[in-house]
Structures are given as structure tokens and as C-alpha cells.
Amino acid sequence: MDEYFGIYEKFDILRLMLKDKTRVLMAYKNAIFNMKEKFQGKVVMDVGAGSGILSIFCAEVGAKKVYAIEASMLAKTLEQVLIENNLQSTIEVIHCEVADIHPDSLEKIDIIVSEWMGFYLVHEGKLDSVLFARDKFLRKGGLIFPSIAKLYASLCQLSSMYEFRNACVPLPVYLNTRCIGKEYRKIKSMEPEVLLLNRDSLLSSEELKIRDIRTVENSEIFEKLLVFLDLNIISKSVNLLGEEYVLTCKSGKYQGICIWFVIEFPDGSKLSTAPYNEPTHWKQTVVVLPTVIECIVFIFFSRAHFMEDKMSESDMTFDEKRPANLFTNVKLSTNLSADIANSDSDSMSIYINEPELSDDISEWKGMSMNEIRKGFGIYEYREHPPIVPSAKHTVLFRLPLSMHESPKPYPTHNIDKWSHGYVRLPCSAHCFYPIDQTTFQRSGDRSCRNRWDMIQEALLRSILSSQQLENAILSYNQIYAQRWNFTALHHFFSEVLDSEETAVFFQTLMPKMIQLALQLPMLLTGAIPLLKRHTNGSISLSQLQVASLLANAFFCTFPRRNSSNPQSEYATYPYINFNRLFAAYSEEKHNQCESVMEKIKCLFHYFRRVTTKSPEGVITIERRYIPCENCPKWNLQDQKLPSLHITSKGTIENEGAGLLQVDFANKYVGGGVLGLGCVQEEIRFVICPELMVTMLVTEELDDTEALIVSGIERYSKYEGYSNTFKWKGDFIDETPRDDSCRRMTSIVAIDALYFRQPSLQFKMDNITRELNKAYVGFVGSDIYQNNLSAIATGNWGCGAFRGNPKLKVLIQLMAAAVADRSMVYFTFGDTKLMDDVAAMYAHLVQHDVDIARLYSMISKYHQESALSDHSDFYCFLYNKSRIKSSSADIFAKDSKDTLPQRSKNVALNKDVVNKHIYEMKMTEEEKIINWLASCDDDNDDNAKRDTKDMCNEKIKNNLKETNNVNESGGLRFVEKHFVEKHFVDDTVRENKNQEDKVFYKLNKGVNSSSLKESITQRSIDDRDRSKNLKSELSLESAELNGSESIEIIKNYSVLEFHKQNPFPRKSGQRRISDDRDTSKKIKPELSLESSELNDTESIKILKDCFVPESRKQKSLPRKNGQTKISDFFQRIS
């Protein structure tokens, strides 16, 4: 012991430790200062104080008293340090070992701090001092810094130890130095080496042992560690294929064991000495193996072939023609090491006819991801509040949680609820199953047995084939013996796996899965409530509890969940038992069924992972319901479109990390995951199988309901989509966990409508339903309203559901805007869709289109496309948004702004064209006036109707003639949206909606006085419009070629039609037609700029509306009793 303490008297060692920035500043100091309120006014003991740096930290945060225990001669130096820093009154140095201190000589300690870790965690032997201090001095409920220690070990490659030429001076190539290398390794294997490795040297799974320093006994410290370091377990006599398995992640030559540790503080912060973290003075400890272990990776286990000195390549070969099987991570080849190395760097992607993009084509448009994240880190958003049990949140594990082990079940004693509002568990004491009648007649036993007893009996028998597995499952599902088939399961084990792999599955993985399933009563002690329709509720389970539930689903143990009768108890719930997956195969659909085999691989891989190492996290499932009457009134929403990042590359689950990820769900969540389905939702469910537990508890989703799942972990890589889907190996999910031990991955399941006729999706009812559905999924928690992540989504409800992706992206944007979220949209390789959506988005933003206006435009598309044959949805929105903007300007702008100015640079033929068109229009007006004079009786109803019809006909003929004239001259006048009566109706409705918005805001608490002033000012503006009405419409430049013509919007028709259809008047407000002087003055003149046309030039068409001086001085005379045009328009309106 004196030698041990003497080491720390060497100041070189002390200097090395103090220079360790990771150890001192980033770990201990942060942990102490993060919990400074726990230290204020408390008594602290620093066991093995050394330089006293930890004692000083404690004093700085307000500790009342710090006892610095130091047995070495450094204690004297520490006393001088304290005097120089004026801390001697707070920190008392005790120069002895902690075991020599009498328990009654010190007051009870509130906190123990100690840097007790040595190489491979326990090398220095100081942990026993910490445990002694804990047992003798620490107050009940006191804290220990650090509180958790986690030891890791991995097999590794040590080329410098085995390639003796690299460890010695250069030797001639022809000399055989194998015997020297053998002796060198023998010496090195007798004591550990301390050195730095990198992550690439690690070849196997890592975790070895976890210890809680608050509860560990002294006798337990070396219990497992010594067994691990005993090299007798690495010998030829070990039957690795029968009992022991070395879990591996790579193929290669295993030449040593790398050991490191991780400690955890009470605030949750950690200090790691792993090879892939920042180096510390502890480095890593390596034990050299005396012999080489040559291994080849499989999914379930690693087969180890031991070789004494020969390091030849494995003679194990694979048949290239054999179908890809479950055990290989990549395409089969003889060089597995190279393949797996390449596989690790591959990014997972979905292939949907994705073209190869050239370098000059952008893969994303819109806002950058940095702008989308608003300065937050990937995982700095807070999507969900901490887990707290409540009437609407059922928590089935014990709180508070420990970060180092699987959560313990809650409550302590089993609660068995066999009722409609809860999941009927197979282990319930109320779960009975009818036995065979012949058995009853022969033995006289009861006609029903406890089903859990039957399940245990069936599964604990020897099961070595898929046929025996089928028999076991049917033994407690006898009623379905003639209806269920297991063709997919039999095909998997007979055709996909070879006989050796099948034997390994049934002898190795299957027993672990059975054990996991039968542990359900111990792992799940509480009753699981059902998430029923039109309710808000949450359930939190541990990942281990979910694994046990899914193991039971695999063995088809859940009662009353197999009936297809629409009147059955669970008819409105998804199927959960795996019997449907086992039957999802037929020779006629061979290509489609190949994806079923790949899904089975994903699921078996998941069970391999959770039975190898128990998962430690938790999962929360939330059902969210907002009644229709509480959903947004979409025609009153004045929010602008949110930020959009749209990309043709990447996937929601990869590039959407940290965002709210959308599951394109079926109303029965999970969709066809247990059948032939293999699209977005089904793929997400098999690479993250914990999502499948939602199928157990979630009733079908209604129109304003969504399901949000947080904390799920991903286990598999994949590629392809639908029939091309392939499992590609293990995936290590490194997503961090939140304060409630949930991985910071959130998925929202929202189901879209299915349209037999795609045109029906543009009906207002369907649009509103989809908006409400998306909004319910996107709206965030009130607690974190200012810290919501963006939404990661894509072509929701398209494909098989026949949704229009151009419509669906706008619907999701509108819902995201009201929910106050940005959006990241993945087109999955469709670059044209990316370009189209990005252009439309930019256009809507440029034209300042808000949600209410966009809702109005979309809702009209179905009707107007039927009338006008609008085949392109976005083209319709382009035109509608321009027209709306221009018409709004007519009524919103001041007369000074709208009064057009003559162009001083007008081409000669422009005047000729304007003059000809003006004269033609004046002639038509005179014809109408003369025709009006022939009306006999203005009060006759038939005359009114006939007059109106004939007037409309005259106007249409006028327009037709105008078009003919223009087409002959290379010009075409566009009348749509202006001539038809519904244009004015739409404008009136738009004005009414604006008023509705004002009162809607008033109801929400907006300052009433300011709103009244706004309304009053608006009335004044309306009265002035008739005096100042001038039109100014502009068209964007258009490229013309030989087959195209110039489109000119005719303002004349607008003005005349406004005369026919005056807007409703407010009190005291005049119609335009009432101001006769103004109506006489307003006449149109069309002007063209840059009249030269060819195939490559474009022109800008402006409309100057003014009254020529010659027209101001005279007007047409009226015959006796003749009616003015303005009066007539008032009469027929």
C-alpha cells in the first residue's frame, strides 16, 4: 500500500492527471457545477483528494465543509495550496486512509466525490475506500460522484503485437521469426498493456458489466472481471457453437481484448475512456491473446475457428447462386471481410426509379437545413414533456428511471384487468381456452383450461423445425387449425435458410424468444389501457416490455385478436398476432412475396438484438384527438406559408433525424406489415419493430385523430421499396435519449383518404378532412410551443391511395403553417416534383398568399376544372393567384397609385392596334344602346329576363369578334376569370371572408377599438372606390414562338361587368354606377410595349385605362325615354 501511495507523490504523475482536460474540466467540474444547488450548505468528503482539485470545486459551489482524505505525502502540499487560496476554513485535509477514520469522529456526509478509477476501472484498488466511506459516513439518500461505472470490453486487432517485424528492428524477409513472435505474445499476454486504440480496431460487441456504486458490494467487484480476464475461456475446448457465443460486428483476426470504462454522474453526464472518444490519461487497457481467433460474421453469432500459429484464410465458402440468406449482411461473396467493411459505410436509401443526377442539378431547393433548424442542434428540440403518470398517461415502469439498466415494472404487484377498456393479456388468470371434447369425455376434466398454462406447455416442448412451431402455435389456437396456414414461415426455413442456419435458429434464437415471451407476467405487471377512438391518452412502456409483447405476438398468444367478424370485440383494431405474416406467401405472387421474406429477416434480427442485450430505453405512445369543431377554420387562417426545404435525396428516417417524422399510415396502424404490404409504413415498422406494439393498443384512427410514438429504436439497414425491399444488416441507432430515457425519435402516424376517383380529392370536404388530419398530427405540445422541430414528410397518401403529390404537399404546408412548424419534404428521387413544388412555393410566397386564400383557390379547382377543362393543377393556381392579386389591387390601392400613365416610348403599330380595337368596341356599345331603346316595358318580368339574356349574348358576340380580330393579327385576348359571373361572386366572397377574419380576430381577443377603426376606414375606402376606380393589370413576360400568341387580359370586360354586378352596399355607400360622371369617364385603351414579335423575344403587356380628351367633351344623345346603360345594368343585376 505504501508503494501505491508513493506513486502519487511523484509530481510527474500528478502533472499528467491535472493536464487531463477531459477528466477534470469536462467531466467532474461540469457534473459538480451542474448540480451546485445539491452542494450548497452540505458536508462533502473527497476520498483520495490528491491535488485537491475536486475539493476546491466543491468549495466553489458553496459546500459548507469539505473533508479532503489523502493518505500520501501529497496531503502536506494540499494544505499549502488551500492556504494560498484562502480555503483552509472550508476544506479540512485529513492525512490518513479513510478506513483509519473513526466513524464517530466526523459528522454525517451528504456527498462523496472521488476520482477512484484506475486502468481497466479497478486497477488502482481505490474503489474499496469509496465503498467504505459510503457505508460508514454517507447519510441515507446521499449522493456519490460518480455514481455509476460501466465496464466495456471488445475483441480487437493488434497487428503490432502479432506482426513481430513491426515490433522489432528490421529483419531480412527470408528469416522465419515466428517462434520469437510466439514468445513475445506469450509474455505480453501475462500482463495488460495500456495504449490508445482507434474504433477500427474493435471487432465485437462491447458491454461487459454494469455496476451501481451506490449498491454494489465489495465482494462483487472482481466477480465477473476475473472470469473475463481468465484466458482459459479462450481455448480449443470451448464449444462456441453449443454454449458460448462471441458477439461480433466484423470479420477479422481477433488478437486481443480491449477494455475501457464509462462513469456516470448523478446529473446524467458521463465520462468515457472508449477508443472512439476523446483520449484520456487512462487510455485503454489491452490483454494480448496468445493465439489468433479467425472469425466470420453471421447475424446471430460468430463462428470462431481457433488456429495456433497458422493465420491462413478461412476455408469456409459460400455458393454465389444461393438466395441471399438471413445471416449475411451484404451480398454473398467469398471475401466477407471486404464486403462487410464496405457495408458499414453504405448509407441506407430507397430506390424508386431514381435517376442519376448530374453535378449541375441541385438535390434540394428552398430553405437550407440550417435555416429550417433555426439555429438549434439536431437533437435540441423538445417534442414531448417528461413522463409523468396521470389519468391520461399510463406509465408501466417505475419512476424515477435509472440510466444504466432496464426500467423496473410498475406496479410492484400484478394488476389483472380483463375488461373492454384494456388489452386482454394471454397471461391473465381470466384467460381460458376450450379443450378438445374427446379429452373431456375421456378424463372428465373441465372443458376449459387456463390458456397461459397451455401456452407454456406448448412452447417449452422441443421445437426444432417450422412444422413443430406451427403445431405448438395451433395447440392453443385450435379453432383456427383448419383456417391458418404457415406457408411463408415454412418457405423461409426451407428455401431462404439452409439446413445449418435453420438448426442454429431453432437451437439458439428460438429458446431465447420463448423465454422472452414467457417472462411477460414478470415484465408487465400493470394493465395496458386501449387507446380508443375519440379519446386522448398516452402509454409509456419500457423497450423490454415491448419486446416481450412482440415475442408473444410472434407466437400468436393474444386472445380475441384473430377474428375477422365485423361484430367481434377487436374488429376495429389492427391484427397483432403474426399468423397473417406466416401465411403471406403464394407461388402465384412469388415476386411480391420475396419482400415478406425480407421482412421476416428484419424481425428475427430484432429478436436477436433484444435477446442478446436487454434494451434500456422507454417508449411513449400517444393518441391525439381534436374534435372537428375545434379544428382550424381554414378560410380564416391568415398565416403565411412556413419555411420549406424540399429534396430529391435522402429518406425521412435518415435525413429527418431530430425532426417530427411522418408515417404515411393506414387508419389501422401498421397497414400491411403482417401481410404483403411493403411500402413506407410497413418498411418503417420492420426496421423499427417496436412500432408494432401500437397495433396492440390503437383502435382505428378517425378523421381528426393521429398517433404519435416517441423513443423507438431502429435495428436494421435496408434498401429498395415494395418488391425490391431488402434487409441489409444491423443498424446501430446512436440517437441520444431525452430526460425520460426515450430516444429522441418521434413518429406521427396520419392516415390519408383513399380516392377511387382521383378528381374527388379536390372537393372541399376532402380537402378539409386532409387538412384537419395533418394539423392534428403536426400540432405540438403547449409546453414546448417555441421549441418545435420541423416536419419530415413526403408524398403522403399518394401511390396506392391515389393522392396527388402536388396537392398533398400544399395541404401539409398549410397544416404546418397553422401548427407553427417548418417542413422538410422528401420526393424520394422525383426531381421533377421537387422542381415543380419549389417553383409553386416560391410563387405563392412572392405573391404573399396566406392559408385562407390558398384554401379558397384549391377548393375551387374541382368545380372550375370541370367547367374550363383545367388539366394542370399548378397552372390553375398560377393563374388564380395572379388574378386575385391584380383584382385585389384594384380595390385596395389609392387612386393615385392606380391611375395609369401614358407610355412615352410606344411603337407605331401599337397606336394603330389600340385605335382599331377602341373603335370596334365603341361600335358594339352603340349597338347595345340602340337595342336597349327597343325595350317596351322595363317593369315586365319577361322583358327583364329576355333583356338580360340578350345583353349577355351581345357581350359574348362582342368578345368573340374581338378575339377573331386579334387572332388574325397574331394577338389573342383572354377572357376567362373576368367575363364569367362567378368571378365577381368570388371577389364578393373574398371581401366577405376578409370581414370574417376581422371579427374572427376580434373574438380571439384582438383590440376592439383598433378593429373598429379599421372597419370604419374600410367603409370610407369603399365609398371612394367608385370615384377613383382605374384599372392597372400587368402580365408577366411570356416567350413566344410560331405556335404561341400573346395573351392580353381585357380590363374593359372587368369594368363593364362590375357595372352589371355591383357589390353589396354598406349604409351610405354608393354604387359605381351611381356616379354617372365617373362611369362616363372610364373607358379602356389597350397599349402594347415592344410590339415586335419573333420566336425568341418576349413582350410585356400593359393596360392603360384612361379617357381620351375627345370622349370627355361629348356623349351619345338619347332618344325620348331611352334608358342609360348604367341604369339597365342596375336593373338586371
Count of other CB atoms within 10 angstroms of residue 1021: 13
DSSP secondary structure code for residue 492 in this structure? I
- Report residue 666 as a C-alpha cell: 393506414
Give residue for cell 351619345. Answer: 1116
Distance of CA 61 to the CA centre of its chain: 40
Query: Position 436: which residue type?
Result: D
Do residues 1026 and 1074 make contact, with C-beta atoms less than 8 angstroms apart? yes
Rounded to whole angstroms, how far apart are CA atoms 664 and 662?
6
Do residues 454 and 475 make contact, with C-beta atoms less than 8 angstroms apart? yes
Rounded to whole angstroms, how far apart are CA atoms 922 and 1083?
10
Rounded to whole angstroms, how far apart are CA atoms 276 and 294?
24
| Residues whose CB is less than 8 angstroms from the CB of residue 1113 and which lie 6 or more positions away in sequence, other chains included | none
Rounded to whole angstroms, how far apart are CA atoms 516 and 547?
8
Selecting among 682, 699, 738, 1032, the annotated active-site residue is 682
Rounded to whole angstroms, how far apart are CA atoms 816 and 662?
12
Question: Could you confirm whether 682 is annotated as catalytic?
Answer: yes
Strands 448-450 and 432-434: what pairing? antiparallel
| Interior angle at CA 768, CA 766 and CA 769, nearest 5 | 65
Selecting among 110, 383, 594, 681, the annotated active-site residue is 681
Q: 257 pairs with which residues across the strands? A: 155, 287
b/e map 712-748, b = 16+ CB within 10 Å = bbbbbbbbbbbeebbbbbbbeeebebbebbbbbbbbb
Distance of CA 922 to the CA centre of its chain: 64
Q: Is the peptide bond before 103 cis (omega within 30 degrees of 0)?
A: no
Look at residues 510, 427, 663, 474 and name the one whose alpha carbon lies nearest to residue 582.
Answer: 474
**N- to C-terminal Cα distance for the chain?**
108
Does 573 appear as a known binding residue?
A: no
Q: Is the peptide bond before 389 cis (omega within 30 degrees of 0)?
A: no
Burial of 950 (0-12, 13-18, 19+ CB in 10 A): middle
Rounded to whole angstroms, how far apart are CA atoms 711 and 742?
4
Distances (CA, A) of 503 to 189, 464, 508, 582: 36, 7, 8, 19
Residue 519: what are its φ and ψ, rounded to 5°? -85, 5
Does 680 appear as a known binding residue?
A: yes
Rounded to whole angstroms, how far apart are CA atoms 1002 and 998?
6
Selecting among 79, 663, 751, 1085, the annotated active-site residue is 663
Distances (CA, A) of 37 to 32, 111, 559, 1002: 9, 12, 52, 47
What's the residue count for the chain? 1133
Residue/partner pairs of 1063-1071 with CB below 8 Å, 24 or more apart = 1063/984, 1063/987, 1063/988, 1063/991, 1064/988, 1066/1019, 1066/1022, 1068/1023, 1069/1019, 1069/1022, 1069/1023, 1070/1023, 1070/1026, 1071/1026, 1071/1130
Rounded to whole angstroms, how far apart are CA atoms 144 and 138?
9
Rounded to whole angstroms, how far apart are CA atoms 506 and 501?
9
Backbone CA torsion sign across 753, 756, 759, 764: negative
> In the chain, how many H helices and how many E strands?
41, 32
Known binding residues for substrate are 666, 680, 721
Active site residues: 663, 681-682
Known binding residues are 666, 680, 721
